[in-house]
């Protein structure tokens, strides 16, 4: 697949002050947009659709000669500007697009990669931070009420989409929208939430320039220290016994069998081992810490809930999942006929390429409880990386 970035830089940004649109104002010796462009180029994005105001003639001349940039004119609304930027990418062989505000210059390569990886298994993905502060409503400068914050998120960019899907969504959208997620959902697209980053601020008011400079200074200082890449390994081990039933669920795939696996949840021994490997790499305990078996709400729960929680926790701490490797130990059922489906299902839940997931099996030569057909064991290893 080929990924492009679409950077919206046609706005005027008057609230930020300074006499210039905020994307053209200086920030730590460069312009805001220069930091934004560098973030995507450093992340390996080879094509950038840059949407400019038709009145910025000198800027058009500056970027017209850059080989990785495709220019288009901004419209009357943000949605119209994005549509122009999308249409400018036609014929470029683009399959995925990351739509980003030029005024977010502190976006990290990790977040760009996380959104891009999510599009391997989802049609749309966007970063967001869960709202943790108390929320009020107000009127005439006074508090008029409170708002429940449960399930609320603060949206960020880049927002990623399959190119054909988001182009069709914008073409069909009736008009103004808060962001591209709204356009996508109006078209019926499902959007995966990826943990955002507190440092990924949007410059809106004058004091935001100082905040952005502090973030960039800290990032530069850490890079100058020559901090080594943080690589973590975790392992997980799980066992479930056989009992009554006509199938087992292994790594998310239902397999017909003369017995079922017994457990508090759905007893997916492979997924449990992988989940514990992710928690282990973070030194975050095991499934039991996060989903206590004493809590009745997890009785019979799908193990996908646990695995997705672990994967989201990995990304929220700034790590990416390099690979996972799981071995199922049993005499029966035979795993090989189902391993490709298991691999794809685990990759979907983790939000990684399938080639980063290994699912294999072995017997115990009829020794021990697995050899006697009393249950299934699984062992898993996960590698987590933070640049």
pLDDT < 50 positions in the chain: none
* Residue tagged 């298994």 (tokens): 121
pLDDT at 263: 83
Token readout for 120 is 């391997």
Q: Give the pLDDT score at 224.
A: 67
Report the helix count and the strand count for the chain, using DSSP H and E: 12, 19
Structural domain including 329 reads 230-386
pLDDT of residue 188: 97
Does the pTM exceed 0.85? no
Same domain, 208 and 265: no
> How many domains, in total, are found in the chain?
2
Could you say which DSSP state residue 278 is in? H
- Pick from 224, 254, 269: which residue ends a domain? 224
Domain boundary among 224, 243, 267: 224
Same domain, 266 and 197: no
The CA distance from 343 to 355, in Å, is: 8
pLDDT of residue 256: 92
Within this chain, do residues 191 and 59 fall inside the same structural domain, yes or no? yes
Say how far apart CA 334 and CA 253 lie, in whole Å. 13
Does 184 lie in the same domain as 161? yes
Residues 237 and 351 both lie in one domain? yes
Domain end among 190, 224, 258: 224
pLDDT at 57: 86
CATH number at residue 47: 3.90.550.10
Q: Which residues contact 374 (CB under 8 A, 6 or more apart)?
A: 241, 242
Instruction: Tell me the C-alpha distance between 382 and 285, whole Å.
Output: 14
Strands 357-362 vs 320-329: parallel, antiparallel or unpaired: parallel
Please return the burial class of 148, using the count of CB atoms within 10 Å of its CB with bins 0-12, 13-18 and 19+: exposed
Do 354 and 302 share a structural domain?
yes
- DSSP run (H or E) holding 35: helix 32-42
- Whether residues 35 and 116 share a domain: the answer is yes
The verdict on 171 and 296 lying in the same domain is no
236 and 218 in a common domain:
no
**Same-domain pairing of 123 and 261:** no
- The two three-digit tokens of residue 143, written as one number: 């508090």
């Amino acid at each position: 697949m080929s990924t492009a970035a679409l950077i919206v830089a046609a706005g005027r940004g008057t609230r930020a002050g300074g006499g210039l649109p905020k994307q053209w104002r200086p920030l730590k010796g460069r312009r805001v947009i220069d930091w934004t462009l560098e973030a995507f180029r450093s992340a390996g994005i080879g094509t950038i659709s840059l949407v400019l105001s038709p009145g910025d003639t000198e800027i058009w001349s500056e970027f017209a000669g850059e080989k990785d940039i495709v220019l288009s004119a901004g419209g009357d609304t943000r949605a119209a500007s994005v549509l122009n930027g999308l249409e400018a990418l036609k014929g470029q062989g683009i399959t995925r697009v990351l739509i980003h505000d030029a005024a977010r210059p502190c976006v990290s390569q990790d977040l760009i990669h996380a959104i891009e990886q999510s599009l391997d298994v989802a049609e749309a993905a966007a970063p967001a931070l869960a709202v943790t502060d108390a929320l009020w409503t107000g009127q005439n400068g006074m508090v008029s009420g409170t708002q429940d914050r449960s399930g609320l998120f603060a949206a960020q960019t880049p927002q990623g989409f399959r190119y054909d899907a988001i182009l069709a969504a914008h073409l069909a959208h009736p008009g103004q929208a808060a962001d591209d997620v709204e356009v996508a959902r109006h078209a019926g697209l499902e959007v995966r939430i990826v943990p955002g980053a507190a440092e990924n601020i949007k410059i809106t008011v004058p004091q935001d320039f100082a905040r952005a400079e502090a973030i960039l200074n800290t990032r530069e200082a850490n890079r100058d220290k020559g901090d080594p890449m943080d690589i973590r390994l975790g392992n997980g081990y799980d066992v479930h016994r056989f009992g009554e039933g006509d199938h087992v669920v292994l790594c998310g795939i239902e397999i017909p069998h003369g017995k079922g696996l017994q457990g508090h949840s759905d007893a997916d021994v492979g997924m449990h081992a992988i989940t514990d490997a992710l928690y282990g790499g973070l030194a975050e305990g095991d499934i039991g810490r996060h989903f206590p078996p004493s809590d009745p709400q997890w009785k019979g729960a799908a193990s996908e809930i646990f695995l997705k929680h672990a994967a989201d926790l990995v990304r929220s701490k700034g790590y990416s999942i390099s690979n996972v490797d799981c071995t199922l130990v049993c005499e029966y059922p035979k795993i090989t006929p189902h391993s490709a489906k298991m691999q794809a299902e685990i990759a979907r839940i983790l939000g990684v390429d399938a080639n980063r997931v290994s699912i294999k099996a072995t017997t115990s030569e009829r020794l021990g409880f697995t050899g006697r057909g009393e249950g299934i064991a699984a062992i898993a290893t996960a590698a987590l990386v933070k640049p």
